[in-house]
Amino acid sequence: MHKITISLILLLAYQNASAERIKDLASVAGVRTNQLVGYGVVTGLTKTGDNTSKFIPQSLVSMMGHMGLTLPSGTDPKTKNSAFVSVSADLPPFAKPGQKIDVTVSSIGDAKSLRGGSLLMSPLRGADGKIYAVAQGNLIVNGLSAAGLDGSKVTVNNPLVGRIPGGATVEQSVPTSFDQPGDLVFNLNTNDFTTANSMAAAINKTLGSETAKALDGGSVVVASPANVTQRVSFVSVIENIEVTPDAAPAKVIVNSRTGTVIINNKVRIQSAAVSHGSLTVTISENPQVSQPNALSNGTTTVTPQSDVSVKEDKNRMFVFNAGVSLDEIVDAVNAVGAGPSDLVAILEALKSAGAMQAELIVI
């Protein structure tokens, strides 16, 4: 009998929703991170860099030209100690020039490993094409790759991606709308009309009526001071107001690749009868070998022999009473020995029969 355990089915069964801070439920509109990307060269590799990539020669010639070094015409610099890489980073809101941010470095060419390499100065640009940071430093690579002369190879984690903590220096900040006069808008991380309404009510209870209004299921507008310094303390007060978010709608999520099933505690089953059974067919091959006697001039003969057996488990039927809870669903399925794949089939059948009032999502 297969038991449906937490490792197979993650039961999101929060019986009593707890109060959460607004800072954990929503964010201020316009206060966001910005993605930066750039390209550069990692040097200092122990012959694990690009081998046939055409990026490195072009990058080295261009870089040397900027440094005032001109290579003879027709020179094709080839080195396995360098690799052409992409450099990415997230620029947090309110980041000021001179502050440090982390960067991620990933190989683009055919390098074998970036372990032990150093990233040369690489400008990082935003979506508008402007340079907002410059990255440089030694890489931290958790992956490791080793190969033998006979072609055997061992790879641990990913040696082609590394990190540089504080590896980029911010050159210019991104303007935000926070210092502009006008109302502040808080966008919920998960859209829900009930939660938005509760959030506006909690703000009005703390700061006075008509301070906040829910625009829709995902946004709450709050009247705020025009002075920037006052707005900072004002948002600090709002962020720490506690709100009880509404429970998520009834959902059953099935991961078809891993067999994981997630059922939240709002799922309810109407009255239904379920029959569970399985048919197993087993085919075993047992070839028979016939060996001739000595000096008989005979040949060895192999005769195939197949054993086919069919086993059908006893069908078991159980009844779901109307409005059963999550625990009762799992107990009933466990009682008949159903595994994760059987549970998915039962849930799909209940949904098709109209006995399960929940959204069935297959990912």
Could you read off the pLDDT of 310-342 as tens digits, one per residue?
Answer: 455 555 555 666 666 666 766 666 666 666 667
CA distance 205 to 190: 22
Mean pLDDT of 92-108: 94
Asked if residues 159 and 143 have their Cβ atoms less than 8 Å apart, the reply is: yes
Hey, where are the domains in the chain?
Answer: 34-170, 184-243, 251-362
| pLDDT value, residue 1 | 39
- pTM more than 0.85: no
Could you read off the pLDDT of 249-270 as tens digits, one per residue?
Answer: 888 887 767 767 777 777 777 7
Specify the higher pLDDT residue, 47 or 299.
47
Mean pLDDT of 185-191: 92
Q: Which amino acid is at 239?
A: E
Specify the higher pLDDT residue, 236 or 181.
236
| pLDDT value, residue 216 | 92
Could you read off the pLDDT of 151-165 as tens digits, one per residue?
Answer: 556 666 788 999 999
Looking only at the bridges linking them, the beta strands covering 260-264 and 9-12 are: parallel
Could you read off the pLDDT of 28-77 as tens digits, one per residue?
Answer: 988 889 999 999 889 888 888 877 766 666 777 677 667 666 766 666 66
Q: Which amino acid is at 287?
A: P
Mean pLDDT of 283-299: 67
DSSP label at residue 311: E
Mean pLDDT of 112-124: 91
DSSP label at residue 186: E
- Return the minimum-mean-pLDDT range out of 118-127, 201-210, 229-238, 261-270: 261-270
